[in-house]
Amino acid sequence: MKHFLIALALVSLCTFAADKETFFNGPTEIPKELPANELYPKGQLFPFGFYSFGGGSDTKRGVMLTEEERHADQDYMTQNGNITLIGPAYELNDLVIADAKRSKLKCAYTMYSLGKQHFIVDGVDLGSKAGIEQLGKEKKQPNWEHIRAEIETVINAVGKTPEIAVWNIVPEEVRPWRKTELAILQFVAKTVKELDPLKRPVALYLPNHYGAGTMKSFFPPLDISWRGMYVNYAGKKEARVWARWCIEQQLEAIKDAPGTVCWALPEMFQPAKEPEDMAKIPTWVRHDVYVALAAGAKGVLIFSASRRANFAETRKIYLDAYLKVSKELNGPMALAQIYMFGERRDDLTLTVTEGPENLQFKNHKLEAERPSLCMANIAWKNARYLTIVNSANEAVTAVLDGLPYGSDMGYEDVMADKPEYIVVPEGNTELEFKPLEVKILKVYCKK
């Protein structure tokens, strides 16, 4: 009997060891075929950047910074963060390549006619919805041959520029229910991809209110989905779980387009409406970015870095908060690698024991709810990285369950000032979250 019990114990230990081996098995290296100087998914760089890098001014709309001021603004961002992308740049489009070279960054280049802030074909701006509507009023069909020729002119001029990482197509906010708008978009996107010698992805700005059904018709031919995720602007300041819903809508829209990725497009353009909101901005920024990454985003593009009248104080707080997150993702901690190259798993559970389990919100006529806690459970480099974001405006307590047993099992919160290894020998542990708090737990065996 004694020998039987010893054998049974050994079998049990072997079972636990096997469970640990399976649990931690996953990707351990960045794919070697991906170049170090290209943006994901073509390369190893995590896309983190800003619209209008160095744009605008603190006076009024349409006034631009001097070159010295623009470069100083850009230098502040590159020296205090780890960003990888600049643009789209609107009125700075003709300068975006030079600015990217100067800052040693990649850029999103907008398909404007050379030297113009418009896409002009036969005297009509097909880079604006008004221009396309003008065709309809004049009962004209798009001249596809001339559109192709205009694209070819642009690509012949800048197409071999390695700083360009993404082609940004216009007009923005295409309405897919307008057949001519959609047809022009699809033709431009396919033609750019055909003529581009470096085969870079094509993207288009989609507005803050589009849902999955409206966005589906853009994929293909678009390769990247970036859609407004302006939580405060949308009136969801107290319902920030809406940011998670935005990413889910994008993922649903691209699910039948293999190779297409989703980026988060959070906000930085409105002054704080209430004085007490100024102190909340860093928390909002962290929540919105990390809930987007936990939900499945593969890049972050902030709208926007442009300076605006009556915005300087709010902008500084927003900007510093985003730059801090960029350093966590692309700096020495290299957290971005988890979201790009890790493998998502679904073998752990979070059970709320105190605080709201679900959160309700409205999106126009839609009434929806999502769990208060969003968790990404990702295997990477012989560990599990759990990004857990509380979208509630109150504290939440939950039990994490499903971990392997063992006295060598535990986790540390990599976001803590001094990460401490906490042993979790029996497969579960209780976690407490402050309102809108982000935790990133590294679960591993400490030998």
Q: Give φ, ψ of 399 to 5 degrees.
A: -105, 125
Chain-centre distance of CA 405, in angstroms? Answer: 35
What average pLDDT does the chain have?
A: 94
What are the tokens at 98?
A: 């030079």
The answer on pLDDT for 279 being more than 90 is: yes
Q: For residue 27, what pLDDT is reported? A: 97
- Burial code of 149-183, b = ≥16 C-beta within 10 A, e = fewer? ebbeebbeeebeeebbbbbbbbbbebbbeeebbee
Residue-level pLDDT at 366:
86
**Which pLDDT belongs to residue 365?**
84
CA distance 42 to 30: 12
Q: Are strands 300-302 and 48-50 parallel, antiparallel or unpaired?
A: parallel
Sequence-ordered strand ranges (E) for 100-231: 106-110, 120-121, 124-125, 164-169, 202-206, 224-228
Return the beta strands (E) in 99-201 as ranges.
106-110, 120-121, 124-125, 164-169
pLDDT (mean) for 392-397: 98
Cα–Cα–Cα angle for 437, 438, 442, rounded to 5 degrees? 140
Question: Each residue of 221-249: b (16+ CB within 10 Å) or e?
Answer: bbbbbbbbbbbbebebbebbbbbbbbbbb
Q: What is the pLDDT of residue 13?
A: 38
Paired strand residues for 358: 371
Distance between start and end Cα atoms, the chain: 32
Mean pLDDT score, 99-122:
97
6: pLDDT confidence band, cut at 50, 70 and 90?
very low
pLDDT at 10 over 90: no
Contacts of 434 (CB under 8 A, 6+ apart): 390, 395
Position 283 scores a pLDDT of 98
User: What residue type is 120 in one-letter code?
Assistant: I
**Residue 438 pLDDT greater than 70, yes or no:** yes
Task: Identify whether the C-beta of residue 427 lies closer than 8 Å to the C-beta of residue 438.
Answer: no
Q: What whole-number distance in Å separates Cα of residue 30 and Cα of residue 337?
A: 8
How far from the centroid of its chain's Cα atoms is residue 127's Cα? 25
Q: What is the pLDDT of residue 192?
A: 98
pLDDT of residue 412: 97
pLDDT at residue number 19: 84
Helix, strand, or coil here: 249? helix
- pLDDT, residue 444, reads 97
Q: What is the mean pLDDT of residues 321-337?
A: 98
User: Is the confidence at residue 376, as pLDDT, over 50?
Assistant: yes
Q: Flag whether pLDDT at 11 surpasses 70.
A: no
Domains 2-28+343-445 and 48-340 fall in the same CATH topology: no
Q: Residue 21: pLDDT band by 50, 70, 90 thresholds?
A: confident
Number of neighbours of residue 335 by Cβ within 10 angstroms: 22
Distance of CA 326 to the CA centre of its chain: 11
Q: How is residue 151 written in tokens? A: 């694209």
Our measurement of the distance from residue 130's CA atom to the centroid of its chain's CA atoms, rounded to an integer in Å, reads: 30
Give me the architecture of the 2-28+343-445 domain, per CATH: Sandwich (2.60)
Q: Following DSSP, what letter does each residue of 257-280 receive, concatenated?
A: STT-EEEEE-B--S--SSGGGGGG
Share of the chain above pLDDT 70, in %: 96
pLDDT at residue 76, as a whole number: 98
Q: Which CATH number fits domain 48-340: 3.10.20.30, 3.20.20.80, 3.40.640.10, 2.60.40.10?
A: 3.20.20.80
Do 385 and 442 touch, CB atoms closer than 8 A?
yes
Are 442 and 381 a contacting pair, CB within 8 Å?
no
Q: What is the DSSP letter of 42?
A: T
What average pLDDT does range 247-276 have in this prediction? 96
pLDDT of residue 18: 45
What is the distance between the alpha carbons of residues 434 and 343, in angstroms, rounded to a whole number?
28
Q: pLDDT band at residue 415, thresholds of 50, 70 and 90?
A: very high
Q: Are 318 and 65 in contact (CB under 8 A)?
A: no
Q: How many residues does the chain have?
A: 447
Domain locations in the chain as residue ranges: 2-28+343-445, 48-340
- Tell me the two tokens of residue 129: 């919805």
**Dist. CA 113–CA 158, nearest whole Å:** 11
> Is the distance from CB of 336 to CB of 43 less than 8 angstroms?
no
Alpha-carbon span 59 to 62, nearest angstrom: 9
CA 156 to each of CA 44, 230, 240, 386: distance values in angstroms, whole numbers, following the listed order: 27, 36, 44, 46
Nearest to 97 by CA among 167, 35, 38, 41: 167
Per-residue pLDDT of 122-158, as tens digits, reads 999 999 999 999 998 999 999 999 999 999 999 999 9
Pick the closest to residue 424 from 386, 391, 394, 379 (CA basis): 386
pLDDT digits (tens, 9 = 90+) for 86-95: 999 999 999 9
CA distance 55 to 50: 10
Which of 226-235, 279-288, 361-370 bottoms out in mean pLDDT, i.e. has the lowest?
361-370
Which has more confidence, 14 or 402? 402
Q: What is the pLDDT of residues 161-207, one digit of tens each?
A: 999 999 999 999 999 999 999 999 999 999 999 999 999 999 999 99
